[in-house]
């Protein structure tokens, strides 16, 4: 039988996170969608936030535009990594606050596709009860 935790994890404390199994997502409030999401330019192109031809431009300028549009909250130029913007409550701006589902699931970034295999604690997630 699969284990569904009684209590929600503390998102800031990975020691409280639950060992991941697929069925957990059915009972979770999408807490992983309030973690900072690192994305690359290729993700932004797939998400429709950036055009392919913009790859030839300095990514700092793209980041500036995306920050102005409140789509991105940070840009690390050394690693060419963007952090997706979040709402005041910490949710990703692409999370539907009612259904708690991703509004661009088919185009979601690799970070989201690979979570929790890749993340703050590999194989564990910040399960939070619905
Ligand atoms: S892009 Fe979608 S899956 Fe990724 S954090 Fe945002 S709402 Fe969640």
Residues 91-109 have pLDDT tens digits of 999 999 999 999 999 999 9
Mutate to test the pocket of ligand 1, among 39, 100, 104, 119 (most ligand atoms within 8 A of CB): 104
Distance (Å, whole) CA 38 – CA 64: 16
Can you tell me which atom of ligand 1 is nearest the CA of 108?
1
Q: Does a cis peptide bond (omega within 30 degrees of 0) precede residue 82?
A: no
Q: Can you give the pTM of this predicted structure?
A: 0.92
Task: Classify 129 as helix, strand or coil.
Answer: strand
Q: Whose CA is nearest to atom 8 of ligand 1?
A: 33
Distance (Å, whole) CA 108 – CA 65: 20
Distance 94 CA to ligand 1 centre (A): 6
Residues 8-52 have pLDDT tens digits of 999 999 999 999 999 999 999 999 999 999 999 999 999 999 999
């Amino acid at each position: 039988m699969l284990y569904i935790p009684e209590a929600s994890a503390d998102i800031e404390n990975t020691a409280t996170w639950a060992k991941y199994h697929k069925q957990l997502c059915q009972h979770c409030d999408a807490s992983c969608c309030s973690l900072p999401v690192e994305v690359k330019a290729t993700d932004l192109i797939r998400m429709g936030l950036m055009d392919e031809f913009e790859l030839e431009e300095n990514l700092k300028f793209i980041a500036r535009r995306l920050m102005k549009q409140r789509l991105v909250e940070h840009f690390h130029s050394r690693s060419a990594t963007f952090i997706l913007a979040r709402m005041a409550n910490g949710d990703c701006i692409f999370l539907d606050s009612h259904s708690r589902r991703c509004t661009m699931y088919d185009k979601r970034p690799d970070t989201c596709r690979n979570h929790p295999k890749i993340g703050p604690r590999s194989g564990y997630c910040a399960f939070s009860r619905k």
